[in-house]
Amino acid sequence: MKKWVYLFEEGNKDMRDLLGGKGAGVAEMTNAGLPVPPGFTITTEACNEYFRIGKQFPDSLWDQALAALKTIENKTGKKFGDPGNPLLVSVRSGAKFSMPGMMDTVLNIGLNPDTQAGLAGLTGNPRFAQDAYRRLIQMFGKTVKGIPGEKFEHILNKHKAKTKGKQDTDLTTDRLQDVVKEYKALYTKELGVEFPDDVVEQLRQGIEAVFASWFGKRAVDYRNFSKISHDLGTGVNVQTMVFGNMGDDSATGVAFTRDPATGAKELYGEYLANAQGEDVVAGIRTPKKIVELGDDMPGVYQQFEDVAVRLEKHYRDVQDLEFTVERGKLYMLQTRTGKRTAKAAVKIAVDLAHEGLITKEEAIQRVEPSQINQLLLPRFDDKAKQSGAFLAKGLNASPGAATGVAVFDADTAEAWGKNGKAVILVRPETNPDDVHGMLVAKGILTQRGGATSHAAVVARGLGKPCVAGTEAIRVDDDRKLFSVDGKTITEGDFISIDGSTGEVYAGPIATIEPDFSQETELIELLSWADEIRRLGVWANADYPKDALKAREFGAEGIGLCRTEHMFFEQERLPFVQQMILNASEAQSKLDALARAEADLARRPENKDAKKALAAAKKAAAASPAVKAYKRALARLLPFQRKDFEGIFKAMDGLPVIIRLIDPPLHEFLPSHDDLLVQVTEMRTKGQKGKRLREAERMLAAVESMREMNPMLGLRGIRLGITYPDILKMQVRAIFEAACNMQAKGIQVKPEVMIPLTGHVNELAVSQGALEAVAQQVMQAKGVEVEYKFGTMIEVPRAALTAGEIARYAQFFSFGTNDLTQTTYGYSRDDAEGKFLLRYVEEKVLPANPFQELDRDGVGQLVKMAVEQGRATRADLEVGICGEHGGDPSSIEFCHNAGLNYVSCSPFRVPIARLAAAQAALGAVVRDK
């Protein structure tokens, strides 16, 4: 016979899978000799079986439960349903991971008019018995039967209003009797049956309701968001009631062993005298601070403090405790790992390690890497937050805090944002048409959509705060307003959103810029992580200021410096455009010249060859395109050199990988559609002259460069081979900068990265010429710098032939964004805009492969490339520079695949340091 039921004595803390967190917790406390009211737990397996066989109790479950109930009766000397000395129980849900407020609990089961009278007589406290009965009807009606809670509240409030003190404690026995009467009438009216007097039936239905709440909408949504599996099931705990509502010597409360907001080492919590169960959390009266219990009930407080210390030592972590005091006697009802803010998580882990309760390794494993992101993002000043007017709470979809004026369409957001206004884009939900507005917005607020909605995904990608799925607000984007609770926010009104908590406020709230150097505990924790991790952590930075930031956060190199960003700067773009517009014609002349030179070199005495060279030289010299091309390159060279000098200086002593130009050139030119409109307008208006001619010329150039699939077209090394002078200019700039800085005593380690290689021959034809430029510069400057040439691995063919490619490349850097695109055959923008989010939501894919590296597909290619590359070149340096470099799961993969480093955005460097250490330590299950 399968064992479905465990007495508390039969369980322990390691049985969370089977008994749920709550069941394992009360079992552990029971066996530790703490005062826990006796009870038993029905297993999570029973819950799963219940659903598997079509919502029925599995065989013998009920018999086992009744047998366990007998044991409880014997232990307590009370009897379930016996008016002489009635046993009352609670039926409490409890899954493996706590899901606060998501699941159901019913108290005081076992009461009917007879047992109520018995209880009244036995305790000499008829008021209490009446109060317990009304609570039973209310909780049972609401959670088991689904009668809206407000209907009960309404009745209760009506009666409270008639008392002098207006509080629930002011309700007399007679009044409570009236409440019970009205509750029962409501129950019958709502359900068409009377409230059950049969206590065994109450118990059965209570257990069933807890099972059913596992698949309640709230619970399912919560699990989806928290990535908790739906097949864990919930345990059901049936426990002897103890009563905090028996008078002023009774109380109920909750407390953390340390402050869950700051991590400070002091009891933190609240209690209410003469109250039961959730009264504290439900806020029916203002609870008192836990320290005040020390004055009210010194003996109990002392005992509770001891229990708290003991449990924290026992579990070696902060505990979140529930307790009840019944006529001066303390009972423990729950212990669980306390949820905490990022700040507290870090402080507590470090403190516990210093106290010797846990090791440094455990401290590292205690903190969720993505959580520490919160410490490094702008957040609301806690004091200022209290001044803001709370509006609603949505999903905390992308962390960080933002204040700005509300705008309701992407175009306005863009226009106002570009004018320097801080805007929050508010939409019913977002789609790819909103992205240009999201780019300039300080934050994003949506009414609909979950944690994987477009708004959430894009905001996280952009590192912007986002509150999504704020169901309480009504967004009317036509009228440019949203309303909530009778309040209306219109375009231009200030609002504030906290993407870390999901809160939305009216009005501006001051934000605090984080200061890493003040985060002493985090710095200490990360220093421990550094001792343990094997993976290096580098950063992606294009500008010296980003490089400095990355270094402050602990980056050990630059894994990706993109040169093309610099091309977009206003003073440079005209030269970039000149370079592009003339490249094709000029390069054909220059290529002819190079060919003629090579030909003559092969047969130095040949007359025709001499003639041909002379002609080619003349043609090149006479070509305006060649002149313009060379002039543009010459103008760009000093800009690039200056950029690189800045980066080298910032990264003194550390490697800097600079990627040569990568995107298709048309990205630097005006859009084809805009130009077409412009030219057509000018023509229809009959305009003539220079401006029209220029526009026409630009249009023709852009037209000639148009590609069906720019992502798969002329870009990366393909571009470099087509227009070699562009790359040579870049390499010259890199090495001039390197030599100049080294001459000034700065230690430079440039690594030149060639993008998008797919065939070894691409390196064979380009790399040598580029290295020659490097050598030339170093010779001319009389300086030797330590350098490398290498390539990105971002198309499958490169990974498949990595052994050949490593003959040339001294390092590999996996560009996993492109590698994911090309492996899946997705264009990321199209995929995320059109179908990918749906794929993730409907679990066609386990995760968005652009956020979490696809180990089975893309990961295979990475592993293969590492192995083959190292077989050719044992000291090959291998890293990753895609967005994945900052994602903890992907970092774990990189560790296992033997990469040398991960490179991520500066703000993710601390996360990566921690994640890399956790990868080295191996997997642990953290409480969710």
Q: Tell me the closest approach of the beta carbon of residue 240 to ligand ADP, in angstroms.
A: 6
Give the number of other CB atoms < 10 A from CB of residue 231.
Answer: 7
Distance between CA atoms of residues 162 and 675, nearest Å: 75
Going from the C-alpha of 125 to that of each of 88, 116, 131, 327, 642, the distances in angstroms are 16, 11, 10, 12, 85
270 makes contact, choosing from Mg ion, ligand ADP, none, with CB < 5 to 8 Å by partner type, with none
143 binds Mg ion (CB under 5 A): no
Strand ordering across the sheet containing 481-484: 474-476, 481-484, 487-490
Q: Which stretch binds ligand ADP (CB under 6 A): 239-247, 513-521, 611-619, 660-668?
A: 239-247
Q: How far, in Å, CA of 39 to CA of 20, rounded? A: 14
Q: Is 325 in the site for ligand ADP (CB under 6 A)?
A: no
Cα(669)–Cα(702) distance, integer angstroms? 7
Q: What kind and span of H or E run contains 366?
A: helix 360-366
| 8 A C-beta contact, residue 268 and residue 290 | yes
The secondary element (H helix, E strand) that includes residue 94 is strand 89-95
Strands (E), 43-82: 79-80
**Which stretch in 237-245, 401-409, 572-580, 807-815 sits in contact with Mg ion by CB under 5 A?**
807-815
Among the listed ranges 11-19, 160-168, 238-246, 382-390, the one in contact with ligand ADP (CB under 6 A) is: 238-246
Closer to ligand ADP by Cβ: residue 92 or 427: 92
CB of 850 to Mg ion, least distance (A): 13
Residue 239 interacting with ligand ADP (CB under 6 A): yes
Which residue number has the CB closest to Mg ion?
818
Note whether 234 binds ligand ADP by CB under 6 A. Answer: no
Q: Kindly tell me which of 279 and 317 has the beta carbon lying closer to ligand ADP.
A: 279
Q: Which residues on adjacent β-strands are paired with residue 79?
A: 86
For Mg ion, give the closer residue by CB, 751 or 818: 818
Euclidean distance between CA atoms 346 and 363, whole angstroms: 8
CA 795 to chain centre: 28
Q: Which does 794 bind (CB under 5 to 8 A by kind): ligand ADP, Mg ion, none?
A: Mg ion
Among 143, 213, 250, 334, binds ligand ADP (CB under 6 A): 334
49 binds Mg ion (CB under 5 A): no
Q: How far is the CB of 244 from ligand ADP (least distance, A)?
A: 7
3-state SS, residue 457: helix
Contact window for ligand ADP (CB under 6 A) among 144-152, 237-245, 577-585, 690-698:
237-245
We find the least distance from the C-beta atom of residue 274 to ligand ADP, in angstroms, to be: 14
Alpha helices in 554-659 (DSSP H): 564-567, 573-602, 607-622, 624-650
> Are the CB atoms for 8 and 36 separated by under 8 Å?
yes
Which of 45, 434, 818, 877 is the binder for Mg ion (CB under 5 A)?
A: 818
Site for Mg ion in 631-660 (CB under 5 A): none
Nearest to Mg ion of 252, 868 (CB atom): 252
Kindly write down the DSSP assignment for every residue of 272-305, as one continuous string. EES--TTHHHHTSSPPEEGGGHHHH-HHHHHHHH
- Out of 37, 388, 465, 716, the only residue in the binding site for ligand ADP (CB under 6 A) is 37
**Main-chain dihedrals φ then ψ at residue 562, nearest 5 degrees:** -85, 120
Does residue 815 touch Mg ion according to CB under 5 A?
yes
Q: Secondary structure of 665-713 in the HEC alphabet?
A: HHHHCCCHHHHHHHHHHHHHCCCCCHHHHHHHHHHHHHHHHCCCCHHHC
Residue 241 binds which one of Mg ion, ligand ADP, none, with CB within 5 to 8 A depending on kind?
Answer: ligand ADP
Does 565 qualify as catalytic in the annotation? no
CA angle (599 as vertex; 593, 600 as ends), nearest 5: 90
Name which of ligand ADP, Mg ion, none residue 239 binds, using a CB cut-off of 5 to 8 Å depending on partner kind.
Answer: ligand ADP
Residue with smaller CB distance to ligand ADP, 319 or 816: 319
Task: Number of helices (H) and strands (E) in the chain: give both, helices first.
Answer: 38, 33
Is residue 885 near Mg ion by the rule CB under 5 A?
A: no
- Contact window for Mg ion (CB under 5 A) among 282-290, 314-322, 739-747, 896-904: 314-322
Give yes or no for a contact between 263 and 340, defined as CB atoms under 8 angstroms apart: yes
Interaction between residue 105 and ligand ADP (CB under 6 A): yes
Binding flag, residue 324, ligand ADP (CB under 6 A)? yes
C-alpha 494/C-alpha 13 separation (Å) is 49
Catalytic residue list contains 881: yes
Exactly one of 881, 894, 895, 904 is catalytic; name it.
Answer: 881
- Single out the catalytic residue among 454, 666, 884, 895: 454
Per DSSP, the three-state class of 255 is: strand
Q: Does 794 bind Mg ion (CB under 5 A)?
A: yes
Q: Which is nearer to ligand ADP, 123 or 584 (CB)?
A: 123
From ligand ADP, Mg ion, none, interface partner of 818 (C-beta below 5 to 8 A by class): Mg ion
Residue 496 binds which of Mg ion, ligand ADP, none (CB < 5-8 A, kind-dependent):
none
- Across the beta sheet with 443-446, the strand order is 389-393, 503-506, 494-498, 401-407, 423-427, 443-446, 466-468, 395-398
**Residue 105 binds: one of Mg ion, ligand ADP, none (C-beta under 5 to 8 A by kind):** ligand ADP
Does 86 bind ligand ADP (CB under 6 A)? Our answer is no
Task: Tell me which residues are annotated as active site.
Answer: 454, 881
Give the interface with Mg ion as residue ranges (CB under 5 A). 322, 334, 794, 815, 818
Give the interface with ligand ADP as residue ranges (CB under 6 A). 37, 90, 92, 105, 107, 239-242, 277-278, 322, 324, 333-334
